[in-house]
Amino acid sequence: MPALKGRSPRRSRQDRRRVIPFAPVPAHRMWWVFLILCFGLTGLVGRMAWLQVFQAPELEARARSLQTHRTKPLGTRRSIVDRTGRLVALDEERFRLWAHPRYFNFPGDDPGLIRKPVDVARKLSGVLALPMAELVDRLGDRASGVKLAEGMDPETAANIRQMGISGLDLEAYPQRVYPQGSLFANVVGFLNQDREPQAGMEQSRHQDLLRHEQARSLRRGADGTPLPDDLAPGTFYGDDLKLQLTLDARLQELAVNALAAQVKEWKAKKGVAIVMDVTNGELLALASTPTYDPNTYWKFPPARFREWSVQDLYEPGSTFKPINLAVALQEGVIEPEGKVNDTGSLQVGGWPISNHDRKGNGVIDYPTVLQVSSNVAMVKTMRHLDPSVYWDWLSRLGIDATPDTDLPGAVAGQLKSKEQFVAQPIEPATAAFGQGFSLTPLKLAQLHAVIANGGRLVSPHITRGLRAGEALAPPRAPMSGQQLLRPDVTRIVRGWMESVVDQGSGKGAKTPGYRIGGKTGTAQKALNGIYLSGAKICSFVANLPVDNPRFVVVVVVDEPKGEHAYGSTVAVPVAKQIIDGLLVLEKIPPSKNNETQLESANG
C-alpha cells in the first residue's frame, strides 16, 4: 500500500493515454459486409415492389375502408298533406342517448381519467329534465351500452353534444309524427314502434310513402374532414315528394266536432260524416267518431283503428228512396207528375208493411212521398217495376260490388241473389224503402253523387298524388264516369229532394239564399239478418246547390238513444253545420232564384 500511495500521478496519466495500433482488416471480412448490405438493399427494393405492384389494390381498398364513412338509409317516409298543404303526417328526427361509463371523461380532463357516473348524471340532469338519482340508477354498474333517454328532439341533442362528454353517444332515428292528432286518424292510420304501418293510408300506400334513399359514402381525411372531390353525382340527392290528400283540414275539424257533439248528446255508438265533390269524386271530409290519436295509438282499443264508413255495412233506409224513384223514372214506370195512394199500411206476401207513424197520407205526389217518407207509397211505386229489372238496377248501381276507391279496406255491400229477390215479393218491397240490402256510407255518398252530377258514377277518392317541393296538385278534372241515369231524370229527383228541405223532415238543413236538396232516414238496425229491437241508424243526405250541384254531404249516426232520435233530429243538425262551413270555405255563391227572392224580401 505505501508503494501504491507513492506512485507518481504523471505516470498514471501516461498509462491512460496509451495508443492501440491499427490492425489491417482482412479483405474477406469487407466482402461479407458488402454482400450483407447488398442483400438488405435488394430485399428492401423487392418488398417495396411487392407492396406497390402486387399488393397495391388490396392495400388501397383497406385504406379507403378506413378513410370512408358509409351512411345507411334511415328508412324515412314521405310527408302527407291536406288539399291546402297543411301537414298531416311527417317524419321528424329524434335521438336516443346511450352511455358508456368506462369512457366517461370531461373536456380538459387528463385522457386517462375516468369520471364517475354521478359526475355525468349531475351534468345531464338539467338537460334531460330528469332527477340525478334516477340517472345514476339507470347507469348502475354497467360498463357500456346503457340507454339513458329516447325520443329527444334535435335541440336537446345539440345541447348534449355541446357538452363534449366522452362516453355519450347520440343515435339519430326518424319518428312519425301526426300534427293534426286524431283529426285524420281514421284515414291516415299510424306506424307502430317498429315503423311498420298498421292502418289507414300508411298501410295501403306503404310503397308510395317510402322515401327514395341510398347509402352514401364520404371520404374523410386523417382529421375527419370530408373530402368532397371524390363524391359521385347525385350522392346528396334528396327525395322531397309528399302525398297530397283531397281532404280539407278545416272542414274535417268542423265535421269531427259537430259529429262528436251529437254522438255524445244522443249517447250513440258511433257516427260518420262525408263531404264529396260530385264532379270528380274528391272527398273534402271523411270524419268518424269515436276515433284515436295516432301519436299515442297504444292508449286506444284496436277496434277504433278501422274506418267504418268504408268497412261496415248498414241498411240505408229512407235515404235510398230518391235513388229508387230515379230508377223508376229512368225505366218510365212512373211520370214526374204522377201520384200514389198512401194507405198507411199493406200486406206483402203475408208480411205487414206500414209507415213509421202507421198513418196514411192519401193520394200524394212524389215530392210529398219524400217529404213524409212514406214506406207504403214507395212499395206501391216500385211495384210498377219488374223485380228482375229492379234487381238488375241494384246490381248495376254496384250495391254488391267493391267501390272503385283509394280508401283502404273498402268492402262490397250485400244484396240478395236474383233468384231470391224475384221469387219472394217481400224482397223488392223492403228494398223500395231501403231495407233488405246493405251498403257502406261511402257507397251511399257515391250513389247520391249520381243524382247530383247528372247521372254519372264517379269514383270517390282521397288522394291527389305525389307532389315535389311546395307545389300542390290541382283538383282532378271532372271525370266522365259511367252514365247510369239521364240528366233530366236526376234534375227531377233533385227538385223533389229540395222540397224535403223546404217543406219536409230536412227543414233543419235549410240555409237562406241557397237551394239545398236532402233526404232523412231512420232505419231499423239489423244484425246477422235479424232486426234489433229499439236499435236504429239515423242519417241524412244533402246535395247542394240544387241548381248547380257540386257537393254531397252524408251523415250517419249509429244507435242513438231516445224516443225522438230520428234522422231529422240527430243527423240533420250535423249536416247543417257542415254545409254552413262548406259554403264559406268553397266560396259558393247564393243560388240565383233565392238571390232574387232575398232582394225582393229586403226591398
Q: Which of 450, 445, 447 is nearest to 555 (CA)?
A: 445
Strand 241-245 and strand 79-81: the pairing is: parallel
| CA nearest to 572, candidates 375, 401, 318, 249 | 318
- Can you give the three-state secondary structure of 568-586, one letter per residue? HHHHHHHHHHHHHHHHHHC
CA distances from 167 to 95, 114, 177, 453, 509 (A): 16, 10, 30, 67, 66
Integer Cα distance of 493 and 381 in angstroms: 14
- Residue 393 has φ and ψ, to the nearest 5°, of -70, -45
Of 40, 100, 291, which Cα lies nearest the Cα of 180? 291
Radius of gyration of the chain (CA): 41
d(CA 471, CA 24): 96
Distances 15 to 12, 20, 21 between C-alpha atoms, Å: 5, 12, 15
- C-alpha dist (Å) from residue 554 to 184, 334, 578: 18, 27, 10
Omega of the bond prior to 545 within 30 degrees of 0, cis?
yes
Distance CA 541, CA 485 (A): 19
| Cell 386523417, residue located | 222
Q: CA-CA distance, 537 to 557, in Å (whole number)?
A: 6
Please say whether the beta carbons of 457 and 482 come within 8 A. Answer: yes
Catalytic residue positions?
Answer: 318
- Spell out the long-range contacts of 556-559 with Cβ–Cβ below 8 A and sequence spacing 24 or more: 556/271, 556/272, 556/273, 556/309, 556/314, 556/441, 556/444, 557/259, 557/262, 557/263, 557/266, 557/268, 557/270, 557/271, 558/268, 558/269, 558/270, 558/271, 558/314, 558/525, 559/268, 559/269, 559/525, 559/535
Sign for the pseudo-dihedral over CA of 136, 142, 144, 148: negative
198 contacts 188 by C-beta, under 8 angstroms: no
Q: How many residues does the chain have?
A: 603
